[in-house]
Amino acid sequence: MIVVTGGAGFIGSAVVWGLNQKGINDIIVVDHLGETDKWRNLLSLKFSDYLDRDDFLPGLLNGEFSEVKGIIHLGAITDTTERDSKKLLTYNFEYSKSLALWCNEYKKRMVYASSAATYGDGKEGFGDNDEGIFKLRPLNLYGFSKQLFDIWAYRQGLLKQMAGLKYFNVFGPNEYHKGEMRSMVHKAFGQIKATGRVKLFKSHVPEYSDGGQLRDFIYVKDVVEMTIWLYQNKEVNGLFNVGTGKARSFADLVNAVFFAMNLEPKVDYVDMPELIRDQYQYYTQAQMEKIRKAGYSRKTTSLEEAVKDYVQNYLVKEEPHLK
């Protein structure tokens, strides 16, 4: 039996879908549905049980889930604008520590979501070597909460027996419920349908043109493959980037959406809110050598092909869930 925390969320439900595709259905989904619509992500999935995050952990620590073989821990507070430090540290740090200690005690596999947000402004690069984490300076409280756990796991020696995944800019089906945290692909599609145009942030630094800000955009289907591969290869441990290794501009991204909709690009550039200007990353690009050297050989989908699949097979058809 596999536990997937955050299993109703964007990446978590996609991982459950990916496990189902491989014939694995003996899964416990752990999440906190709250007042969101992410419960809809579970409708077509196969799993053994669902538990709220606050009910699962006490039961786990009391010995109720001895049949669990491993945990894919993707549950977290992922809002990069969240200001409640107690909430972030409770669920992104303390909760993760409890799961890691349990897995260590009972020799269970654990793969967990770190974050590319730990890289901050990128001045220290985007290398995923374990020892480099002490140099990183996240730009927001969310990134800090993830950084804390990476450092704790390293100091405890636990990174030698589990894998931490630094997801870059993920987009694809099952993200519809994320509100402002949705990918730019989803937002652009909605703007184009409503107005025929897309709004992008202007650049506020001279090194980048408007729309020229760069990100490592990765399709959720590729994320699923890497995540499950790392879970299944128990000898592969430490921190790993999950990206494409190729930075692309926001202009490239929205142009791909227009082209997938068979429309000519029409883009308006607007000022970036002052609230996020000091926390804004102008460039991210995952270094992917580590996971490749570990044996992962599957190619990632190109930006254009990924956007085309997402737009034409999901968004246009108003089918937001993986199939």
Q: Which amino acids are annotated catalytic?
A: 142, 178
To the nearest 10 degrees (0 to 180), the angle between helices 141-155 and 95-106 is: 20
Helices within 8-48 (DSSP H only): 10-21
Q: Which 3 state secondary structure label does DSSP give 95?
A: helix
Alpha-carbon gap, residue 35 to 52, rounded angstroms: 13
Alpha-carbon gap, residue 12 to 279, rounded angstroms: 26
Contact 284, 119 (CB under 8 A): yes
Tokens 């879908």, located at residue: 17
- Identify the sign of the CA torsion 91, 93, 98, 104: positive
DSSP per-residue codes, 15-66: HHHHHHHTT---EEEEE--TTSSGGGGGTT---SEEEEHHHHHHHHHTTTTT
Alpha-carbon gap, residue 304 to 178, rounded angstroms: 23
Residue 4: what residue type?
V
Alpha-carbon gap, residue 275 to 314, rounded angstroms: 33
Give 196's contacts (C-beta < 8 A, 6+ positions apart).
263, 266
Alpha-carbon gap, residue 44 to 32, rounded angstroms: 18
**What distance separates the 2 farthest-apart alpha carbons in the chain?**
59
DSSP per-residue codes, 165-228: EEE-EEESTT-GGGGGGS-HHHHHHHHHHHHS-EEEEPP-STTS-TT--EE-EEEHHHHHHHHH
Q: Is 237 left (phi over 0), alpha (psi -120 to 50) or beta?
A: beta
